[in-house]
Amino acid sequence: LRPRTVSELAATTGYDRLPADSRTIVGFFRDRVVDSLEDYLAPFEHTVAVMQTVGSLRRVAMESVIDHATSGVVYAEVRMAPSLHTQAGMTRREAIAAALAGIAEGEAESGMAARLIVCAMRDSDDSAAVAQAAGEFVGDGVVGFDLAGPEAGFPANRHASALAAAKDAGLHLTIHAGEGSGVASIQVALDCGAERIGHGVRIVEDITADSGYLRFGSTAEQVRRERIALELCLKSEIDTRVVHSAAAHPIDLLDREGFVTTINTDNTLMSMTDMSHEFGLLSSHKGFTNDDFRRLTLNAIDAAFCDDATKEQVRSRVALGYVGLDDT
C-alpha cells in the first residue's frame, strides 16, 4: 500500500489506530523494532483493517500495479489472502474479484502485465475454502496458490488437501518456506508440490564447506536439481533478521552454484522498498551488473506462472530494456 492510501482509507473507514497523516505512517511502519518474522507480520493487522471493502481492495490492487510499473517492472505476480478481507462481510470470492478488477485497471493504465496469486494462511484452518475460491478464477487472472504467514508450528503439510485441490483446479503452487523456519520447512514445501519457494533463503543451511569444496544436503540438491525457483527478497530478509545485511545475503552464492534465484520485493510498504531499490542493494553490496540482473530477470520469467504467450511478450520487453546497456 501507498502510505497516503493507508491514511486516506483509515480516515474513510474510521479506523483510528494509525497516525493521521501519511508522513507519520511511514515512520510508524519503518521505525518499529523487528526481531523475527512474527514481528514483521504484526503490523499487517493495520493494513488489512483498511482493506475490508470492494472499493478499498480494488484501489490498492490498482495502485500496486501502477507503482511496480513506475519502478520499471513489466510483469508482476501480486499476492493477497482473501480470508483477511472478510471482516466486514466481503466473501473470499468477492475479495479475489475486487483484487482482479484493480489489477486490470492498473494494467490498462500502466501498460504492464500482472497476475494474482491467492494465499491461504498457514495459521488458519480455512485453506480448503481459499483453494476452492481461487480455483473459480483460473483463466481469469489467478495463476497460483500460496501458503503464507508464520512458519514455526504451522507446517505446509497441514494444508496438503488444499494444495492438492488448488493444483487440480489448474493453479501453480508456491509456498513460503525457509524464512521463519529452516531447511525442514523447505523440504515439507517440496513434498507438498511447491514449484517455487517463497524466500527459501535458509536453504544455505543445507550447504556446507568441506576442504574448500561445497557439499549440498538432500534438500539443497533437490532444489538445485529440479530447478525450483527461489523467490529471494533482500530487504525483507534483512528486516526479518534472516540475514544480517545485504552484504551477508547468500544470493550470490546461490546464483553461482546453479540455484534458480530471482529478485522480489515482498511487501513494499513494510520493507519500504521497490524493485529498483532491490536492484540497487545488489549493485552496491554484491557488485551485481546488468548481465547479472538480466540473467536473474530471465530466471523469473522462466519461473512465472502466466501462460507462454505472456511470457514471450515479457521476455521481449526485458530484452529491449537491456539493449545498449554495458555490463555495469
Please list the active-site residues: 179
Chain-centroid distance of CA 25 in Å reads: 22
Computed over its alpha carbons, how large is the radius of gyration of the chain? 19
DSSP annotation of 138? B
Asked if 271 and 236 count as a contact pair (C-beta separation under 8 A), the reply is yes
Asked if 234 and 282 count as a contact pair (C-beta separation under 8 A), the reply is yes
The answer for 322, left when phi > 0, alpha when psi is -120 to 50, beta otherwise, is alpha
Torsion, Cα 294 67 56 88, to 10 degrees, reads 40
- The letter for the amino acid at 138 is V
DSSP annotation of 246? T
3-state SS, residue 10: helix
How would you write 156-208 as a 3-class SS string? HHHHHHHHHHHHHCCCEEEEEECCCCCHHHHHHHHHCCCCEEEECHHHHHHEE
Q: Strands, DSSP E only, in the chain?
A: 75-80, 113-121, 142-148, 172-177, 196-199, 207-210, 213-216, 229-232, 261-263
